Structure 1
Amino acid sequence: MTRDSISPRDIARSLPGILRRLPAIAKGYYYYSIEDKKKDLTLGTLVERNARKHGHRTAILYEDRSITWHEFDQWSNRIAGFLKAEGLIKGDAIAILLENRPELLAVVAGAAKIGVACAMLNTSQKGRVLAHSINLISPKMIVVGEELVDSFDGVRADIHTGHPKAFLYLADTNTLNIFGEAPDGYVNMAAQVSAYSNTPPRPVDPPTMGDTAVYLFTSGTTGLPKAAPGSHRKFMKAYGGFGMMSLDMKPDDILYCTLPLYHGTALVICWGSVLAGGSAIALRRRFSASAFWDDVRYFHATAFGYVGELCRYLLNQPASDQDRNHKLTKMIGNGLRPSIWKEFKERFGIETVAELYASSEGNIGFSNFFNLDNTVGFSTAPYKLVKFHHGTRDPVRDGDGFMQEVEKGEPGLLISEITKTWSFEGYTQKDATEKSILRDAFSKGDQWFNTGDVLKQIGCGHLQFVDRMGDTFRWKGENVSTTEVENILDGSGMVEEAIVFGVEIPDTNGKAGMVTLVPHCSGEAFDANRLFRYLTDNLPPYAVPVFVRVTSAIEKTGTFKYRKVDIQKAGYSIDKPGEQVYAWLPGTEGYTPLTPELVAEIDAGEVRF
């Protein structure tokens, strides 16, 4: 049983810890609440500050490499000088296609120093989805790591840029002075950067807190990825709110990060928290459950960044007498399920769970400031939980056209008021921004951001996450757009019509992708593995449907809308005559027809997806 309520007594019990952190809280609140967008507090100035205060302390740990704040600052200065010499100025953008390695952070910091924004490309994307994401930003240059050249070469001809040396290459050497050889059509960025001065750049028009620092890509609610601009102010909120107020990061703290740095949780929240403490970030290319605690011990990590799925994978590892043999006591992230919260803390000796709720594009965030169990915490932003139409992101309106709040304890759609203080930066696409704004919700002229997420009040202003709504679902720590997957399916030539949705699998986090489809009438038997090969060529692995239901017709309403609720209820059951259901089982390279025995194993949690 999990406890889903928070009382004043729970708050009181947390007060001694709050009092001990009072200086950090006061300082953090100052940075969190700064509203002057013209202030010269930026990601670049935070790096420079740490170089002055903690120059000889470690900033980045990666494999066997250690980089100090002084070295990192000088490296980012050289990158800034290179970009400036290439004609880039404040307001321009570059795109970054790199896996988790120090070069990514150095490029982001260097670009920030001259006001150039970095579009953080999802390294799992390929084909037209990747091309779409890049062209949304119209970047002047694209930085491509050696490990992702093949993915980028597949779309290079479709990229629109006017810069004569647009494609920059970074060899995967993990050595500062070994540059490698750039492929044809690329500029060797590391070799070029090495020739520039390590002194701070002096841009004519220096960046300010309100300027865009990064673009983060989100599935949003429908269609292909959307680009959400993130200002330096977002980093300042993470710097003060999470790094100081929640985690109380210190110079001797080390945060272990296996989350991809193209995600806001890793780049803005984890790295922002590290910046706040003058701490170090220890990077790994991608998460490994079996190597996790060995890495934590190797790096002497004291904190880590998580998503809920990551925590479940760690719990699924066999128990060991080494489970508490480490220095790690605090964690920050989102999606830790109440069903495993207490077990995770007790097994691994975690003291602080800084669970949070936020989105790349949103204007609201929640933080578990009091370190209570099973909650995303509270927010100082104005928000409401309102009634909604199930299966959609649409709020219910009464006879006067206004929205209705839910009763305390009832799940409700989270909406956040858009004000001067709590502005909504939106997306690069105006129509996508407009679709996320609710107007005249409680009075004429008001504006609210529709998060598309369902939460519930559990006491003392604290909320608990319930579910995502509408046309996205979350799987393997990623948001999957059903429309994006449906669009890819439409291009296969194998499908007459298809409906994509998420289904729950016992003992997993999030929802696995499933498609119910009517095959194209070609006179040949449906080839599930041909479809699988097509999907894996055109979608990142987390977006490839885990289940496929092949049917002769998909039921619709009288207004020709699909009966999505009924389709979702059927899930991956195999009791419908004339229909075949397939599953992409772990460790396989294709779809396997489901049998009663396989369904029973999946339902029993015996198949580890």
Structure 2
Amino acid sequence: MSHAPSDTITWGMMLRKLPMIARALPRVVKGMKVANVKDPTQACGLGWTFEQATLRNPEGMALLQGDVLLTYAQANQWANRIAHYLSEQGIGKGDVVAVFIENRPELLVTILALAKLGAVSALLNTSQTRDTLIHSVNLVAPVAIVLGEELQPAFAAIREHVSIAAQRTWFIADGDTYSHPGIAPEGYVNLISASADACADNPTSSREVFFDDPCFYIYTSGTTGLPKAGVFKHGRWMRSSASFGMIALNMHPDDVVYCTLPLYHATGLCVCWGSAINGASGFAIRRKFSASQFWNDVRRYRATTIGYVGELCRYLVDQPASADDSRHEVRKMIGNGLRPGAWAEFKTRFAVEHICELYAASDGNIGFSNILNFDNTIGFSLMAWELVAYDHDSGQPLRSADGFMRKVGKGEQGLLLARIDEKAPLDGYTDPQKTAKVVLHDVFSKGDRFFNTGDLLRNIGFGHAQFVDRLGDTYRWKGENVSTTEVENLLLQHPHISEAVAYGVEVRNTNGRAGMAAITPAESLATLDFAELLAFARQRMPAYAVPLFLRVKVKMETTGTFKYQKTRLKNEGFDPAQTGDDPIYAWLPGTQTYVQVTDDVLADIHQGKYRY
């Protein structure tokens, strides 16, 4: 990603921000105090902060979706009833409960109830099915599951492969269950009906949750193919909700955050909802993002703040211009992945004053945010970080002759490393071996430890950085991290494919990287039925992971250590002029098969004829 020289932050630019910095300073100091809980006996975390918000704004709107409008008092009491009931069923501190519900108030109330008990919500990705879903559930060995009716078919298909007792398989009907609990099918317990008469007071357990207690498991793409479960502790919830809600966004009870991002990811759940709770503000959600309804929803809920990922912004910019584009109350937005090319256009067309671009990995220990409202930056971090030189092929950081790593200069891109210390502990993964792999030792001096983010950033001055790209075996598409190894493993299940290498390629005027796979047929090209192959892939993987491009190779080249030459494949992309005798196929939007990419098809893709 290129950057204009104007992205570099100068002394003049900083001086112009001084009045804003002076105004923000008191809340920054207060926010840092709230964020950094150090006392191991101090109650904190999600349940506790929601109870504090309820005391502050009991009759204010807490959760909004369609016609469902719940005040803080109502949402808190609902979560309390569920928490008391679950406690009676033996769910307590440290127990892992899988949660499998699409974006709706019931999802948040369930997570809140579990947090009040000190139980851990394993936030299953609602796009997952079959083997990936079985892996995600069994990875964390949950003692129970809370399941939305909308995902019951996906769970029913894997139920015999996971060991969760029927009496702990709790069901939530697909509807406004606050008013109408609905009916559970045989073999499931209706959580809303069962908890309807439970106590509505705050459980004492929510004051017995401390900063080192885990709050959620959030799944991230594993470089070994299947998802890893990142541990998100209550102390980190405090850092996240205060850093973004108080310091970055200055949220208040009259604010409303509108979020269409999936709430099993940290940006939607921890950044957007956390910011709303921190300000005792409203949180309006939608089941799935809709570009055509987005601004209508924003006006309906009188939202002042929106959560985004870069792709979402691009879809909104692609909508036909309307006189209503700037007729709304949104003043600020928070999220990640907005590319410099679209930044100014979005800000101007939709009249948003502050784009609070952030950077945070759900499995990491560092966060950046654009508090000072510069353009084209993820802002700065209060944590210690460095950008180091790396090997372009392996993605590994380089060490000099003295054994230590080399920092890159201002304006250069480098691999982001974050210091691990008391101020920035690393919660890591449920698997200690996975955690050990991302920790680097003796980086700049003997005994120091750093978290390897696997991401490339550029230092643009005054502690501010710009996101460049992801390294390694994941790429980002449609706001989701895609594991290349997982895609490869699923393609290799096809009887006519003997080898598969997946990678991300850039498509003009899109965000992230689109999926592409180089495949070697088991027999010959003639044996491949491309409509059947597409149907096979779509059945087994989430829509965002299905490769948009295929490269058919007679033989796959490997390095001396038998690694596939992904860097070369990525560079050659889907241009037939670059790929020699290997034919390229594309899945064009709205079609049901892969078609061969000719010069004309390639020109149409480059010219944006197809909306990816």
Q: 1:38 and 1:55 mapped to 2: Cα distance?
A: 27
Q: In the TM superposition, what is the alpha-carbon distance from 1:393 to its structure 2 partner? A: 2.9
Q: 1:591 and 1:37 mapped to 2: Cα distance?
A: 57
Deviation by residue 1:475-504 (Cα, 9 ceiling, x = unmatched): 000000111111111222221111100000
Structure 1 segment 127-146 matched on structure 2, within 5 A: 127-146=130-149
Asked whether the 8 Å contact 1:58–1:68 carries over to 2, the reply is yes
Residue 597 of structure 1 aligns to a residue whose secondary structure is helix
* 1:115 alignment partner in structure 2: 118
Asked whether the 8 Å contact 2:177–2:192 carries over to 1, the reply is no
Q: Are 1:266 and 2:268 counterparts?
A: yes
* 1:31 alignment partner in structure 2: 34
Q: In the TM superposition, what is the alpha-carbon distance from 1:296 to its structure 2 partner? A: 0.6
Q: In the TM superposition, what is the alpha-carbon distance from 1:239 to its structure 2 partner? A: 2.2
* 2:583 alignment partner in structure 1: 580
Asked whether the 8 Å contact 1:30–1:240 carries over to 2, the reply is no
Query: How many residues align structurally?
Result: 608
Q: In the TM superposition, what is the alpha-carbon distance from 1:524 to its structure 2 partner? A: 5.6
Matching residue within 361, 364, 378 for 1:362: 364
Structure 1, 519-528 or 334-343: larger mean CA deviation: 519-528
Structure 1's unaligned 5+ residue stretches are none
State the percentage of identical aligned residues. 46
Q: In the TM superposition, what is the alpha-carbon distance from 1:294 to its structure 2 partner? A: 0.7
Matching residue within 184, 187, 192 for 2:186: 184
Q: Are 1:279 and 2:281 counterparts?
A: yes
Q: Are 1:73 and 2:76 counterparts?
A: yes
Asked whether the 8 Å contact 1:60–1:66 carries over to 2, the reply is yes
Structure 1, 440-449 or 107-116: larger mean CA deviation: 440-449
Structure 1 segment 370-449 matched on structure 2, within 5 A: 370-449=372-451
Q: In the TM superposition, what is the alpha-carbon distance from 1:578 to its structure 2 partner? A: 4.2
Residue 449 of structure 1 aligns to a residue whose secondary structure is strand
Q: In the TM superposition, what is the alpha-carbon distance from 1:30 to its structure 2 partner? A: 1.3
Residue 376 of structure 1 aligns to a residue whose secondary structure is coil
Q: Normalized against structure 2, the TM-score is what?
A: 0.97
Matching residue within 175, 184, 200 for 2:202: 200
Structure 1, 554-563 or 542-551: larger mean CA deviation: 554-563
Q: Are 1:95 and 2:95 counterparts?
A: no
Q: 2:40 and 2:157 mapped to 1: Cα distance?
A: 40
Residue 165 of structure 1 aligns to a residue whose secondary structure is helix
Matching residue within 27, 52, 55 for 1:49: 52
Aligned AA for 1:114?
L
Q: 1:543 and 1:396 mapped to 2: Cα distance?
A: 31
Deviation by residue 1:540-570 (Cα, 9 ceiling, x = unmatched): 1111111111121111233322222221122
Aligned AA for 2:86?
L
Q: In the TM superposition, what is the alpha-carbon distance from 1:157 to its structure 2 partner? A: 1.1
Deviation by residue 1:364-393 (Cα, 9 ceiling, x = unmatched): 111111111111111121111000011433
Aligned AA for 1:149?
Q
Q: 2:393 and 2:348 mapped to 1: Cα distance?
A: 36
Structure 1, 518-527 or 127-136: larger mean CA deviation: 518-527
Q: Are 1:172 and 2:183 counterparts?
A: no
Structure 1, 16-25 or 509-518: larger mean CA deviation: 16-25
Asked whether the 8 Å contact 1:216–1:263 carries over to 2, the reply is yes
Q: 1:317 and 1:391 mapped to 2: Cα distance?
A: 39
Q: 2:245 and 2:153 mapped to 1: Cα distance?
A: 37
Q: 1:224 and 1:255 mapped to 2: Cα distance?
A: 32
Q: In the TM superposition, what is the alpha-carbon distance from 1:523 to its structure 2 partner? A: 9.2
Asked whether the 8 Å contact 2:44–2:207 carries over to 1, the reply is no
Asked whether the 8 Å contact 1:513–1:544 carries over to 2, the reply is yes
Q: 2:68 and 2:174 mapped to 1: Cα distance?
A: 13
Q: 1:501 and 1:525 mapped to 2: Cα distance?
A: 24
Structure 2's unaligned 5+ residue stretches are none
Matching residue within 204, 208, 211 for 2:213: 211
Structure 1, 517-526 or 267-276: larger mean CA deviation: 517-526
Residue 332 of structure 1 aligns to a residue whose secondary structure is strand
Q: 1:424 and 1:25 mapped to 2: Cα distance?
A: 23
Matching residue within 239, 242, 253 for 2:241: 239
Deviation by residue 1:259-278 (Cα, 9 ceiling, x = unmatched): 00001001001011001111
Q: Are 1:606 and 2:609 counterparts?
A: yes
Residue 434 of structure 1 aligns to a residue whose secondary structure is helix
Q: Are 1:468 and 2:450 counterparts?
A: no
Structure 1, 415-424 or 522-531: larger mean CA deviation: 522-531
Q: Normalized against structure 1, the TM-score is what?
A: 0.97
Residue 434 of structure 2 aligns to a residue whose secondary structure is helix
Q: 1:475 and 1:29 mapped to 2: Cα distance?
A: 33
Asked whether the 8 Å contact 1:392–1:471 carries over to 2, the reply is no
Q: 2:521 and 2:434 mapped to 1: Cα distance?
A: 32
Q: 1:564 to 1:204 in 2, by over 3 A?
A: closer
Asked whether the 8 Å contact 2:336–2:357 carries over to 1, the reply is yes
Asked whether the 8 Å contact 2:497–2:521 carries over to 1, the reply is yes
Asked whether the 8 Å contact 2:99–2:121 carries over to 1, the reply is yes
Residue 607 of structure 1 aligns to a residue whose secondary structure is coil
Q: 2:17 and 2:345 mapped to 1: Cα distance?
A: 20
Matching residue within 8, 19, 22 for 1:19: 22
Aligned AA for 1:332?
I
Q: 2:246 and 2:560 mapped to 1: Cα distance?
A: 56
Aligned AA for 1:125?
Q
Residue 333 of structure 1 aligns to a residue whose secondary structure is strand
Q: Are 1:338 and 2:340 counterparts?
A: yes
Q: In the TM superposition, what is the alpha-carbon distance from 1:334 to its structure 2 partner? A: 0.8
Q: 1:337 to 1:523 in 2, by over 3 A?
A: closer
Structure 1, 533-542 or 70-79: larger mean CA deviation: 533-542
Q: 1:546 and 1:36 mapped to 2: Cα distance?
A: 50
* 1:534 alignment partner in structure 2: 536
* 2:500 alignment partner in structure 1: 498
Q: In the TM superposition, what is the alpha-carbon distance from 1:577 to its structure 2 partner? A: 5.2
Asked whether the 8 Å contact 2:47–2:206 carries over to 1, the reply is no
Deviation by residue 1:30-74 (Cα, 9 ceiling, x = unmatched): 112222343201211111112212101100111011100000110
Q: 1:26 and 1:221 mapped to 2: Cα distance?
A: 38
Q: 2:102 and 2:83 mapped to 1: Cα distance?
A: 21
Matching residue within 63, 69, 73 for 1:60: 63
Residue 49 of structure 2 aligns to a residue whose secondary structure is helix
Deviation by residue 1:332-364 (Cα, 9 ceiling, x = unmatched): 011111111111111111111111110001011
Q: In the TM superposition, what is the alpha-carbon distance from 1:605 to its structure 2 partner? A: 2.2
Matching residue within 216, 240, 254 for 2:256: 254
Q: 2:205 and 2:272 mapped to 1: Cα distance?
A: 28
Q: 1:514 and 1:560 mapped to 2: Cα distance?
A: 20
Structure 1, 193-202 or 140-149: larger mean CA deviation: 193-202
Residue 304 of structure 1 aligns to a residue whose secondary structure is strand
* 1:223 alignment partner in structure 2: 225
Asked whether the 8 Å contact 1:62–1:282 carries over to 2, the reply is yes
Q: 1:426 and 1:27 mapped to 2: Cα distance?
A: 28
* 1:151 alignment partner in structure 2: 154
Aligned AA for 2:225?
G
* 2:454 alignment partner in structure 1: 452
Q: 1:220 and 1:565 mapped to 2: Cα distance?
A: 19
Q: 2:106 and 2:389 mapped to 1: Cα distance?
A: 46
In angstroms, what is the RMSD of aligned CA positions?
1.6
Asked whether the 8 Å contact 1:59–1:280 carries over to 2, the reply is yes
Q: 2:525 and 2:118 mapped to 1: Cα distance?
A: 58
Q: 1:115 to 1:204 in 2, by over 3 A?
A: closer
